[in-house]
Amino acid sequence: MLFVSDITKNLLDLSLYSMFILPVFAAILIISVFSLLNWKKRTRSMILKLAILLLIAILPFVPLFEDVNEIAMDNLDGFYDSIYYSSLKNDLYMASESLIGLQLREMNSVISSELNSFKRVLRVVLTNRMNSFASNAELTYSIDANGRLRLTAPAFSQYMSIDNQPTYAGEIRGLVRDLNSFIRDSDRNSKRYQGALQSFITSAGKIMTYAGEILRKDFNSFVENSLSQKKETEIAFDEYTKSMVDILAREPLSVVIRAFRVPSFAALLLGLFLLPVIIMLVRKHFISWIYLAIMVVYSLYALSESGNLSIFVQAGSPLLRINIEPSVNVLFLIVLTGIIVLSVLWILLSQRKGSVSE
């Protein structure tokens, strides 16, 4: 059933396969790693087992297709008018829980927090202290013709008496304490802002690198609306704009397609995750040969059909079907071949020992 049905069409089937296969695979991998930590138990078969497991583990992260012009956004007929484009925009930045949405909220929150704290220092902390000094020390304040604050103090008042030093020194210490507290918080806010800004620019850069012209315009308008409505956030939009100049000067890249996005290769991945269970735990070597043969045949079938590409976008959306020039990533083929060759060696080694499992 794993190789004859489209597992991406039935999320229940996909969940059941994953709930069984992935935990078992993870358990075998963890046990193998800990076994290799024991020098006394370290054997060629254990090293071979770990090599197979590691290759299978990294295969889902190896790009299946790279630099395929047919899957560039601007080359997909009707893409910008399709359900895929609205879903893509929602996932990338329009949804409140999207990464861009979260980063923008974090940045706005830090900017707003810092601005409010600074205004509180000016309006409350300093003003209250100045009013206290004005009342107790008989000071007067005025604004001159140039708009500068002028302070007038009497030659002497009881508040200025050295006998009153504990009082006015205490007020100064209170002011210093409040200002130091603000400076500490302000320094933290500055670091948070720089980190949030850099994270946002990095995420935006990844989007712009692969985005077609229309998505670039839509995304840029979204960012501008999000950051240009308030004066205090305009600086963030300016930094974003400067950071995108070089990226926007280049042609958009084709989207990287990984195996789990293509139904036939997604089934292949799950089959490979099940492979260690069959060849390492089952004690009948002919079952291992049969399963491995099925995997080889299905791999060849999936590769032969790679020109008629069906891409899983998200649950609830139809598969995106396009025809491309078959150009599977060489690294993907190398890792897949390595898994098959090492599995053959494992079965042969196990047969020599008289058992498929150790």
User: pTM score, two decimals?
Assistant: 0.75
Cβ proximity of 39 and 14 under 8 Å: no
pLDDT at residue number 37: 59
pLDDT at residue number 200: 97
Cβ proximity of 134 and 118 under 8 Å: no
If DSSP codes are grouped into helix, strand and coil, which group holds residue 258?
strand
Tokens of 83: 């359900």
pLDDT at residue number 338: 96
| Residue spans per domain, the chain | 7-72+257-353, 92-248
Stretches where the chain sits below pLDDT 70 are 1-22, 31-43, 283, 313-317, 353-358
pLDDT at residue number 66: 80
pLDDT at residue number 217: 96
pLDDT at residue number 3: 47
pLDDT at residue number 194: 96
Tokens of 32: 């193998």
pLDDT at residue number 297: 94
Note the pLDDT tens digit of each residue in 70-128: 878 888 888 899 888 998 899 999 998 999 999 999 999 999 999 999 999 999 999 99
pLDDT at residue number 191: 97
Helices 263-281 and 330-353, axial angle in degrees (round to 10): 20
pLDDT at residue number 58: 94
pLDDT at residue number 104: 96
The dihedral through the CA atoms of 232, 236, 239, 244 has a sign that is negative
Q: What is the C-alpha to C-alpha distance for residues 356 and 348, in angstroms, rounded to an integer?
A: 9
- What is the 8-class DSSP label of residue 214? H
Among residues 102, 175, 179, the alpha carbon closest in space to that of 133 is found at 175
Query: What do you get for the CA distance between the two ends of the chain, in Å?
Result: 29
How many C-beta atoms surround the C-beta of residue 308 within 10 A? Answer: 12
pLDDT at residue number 5: 47
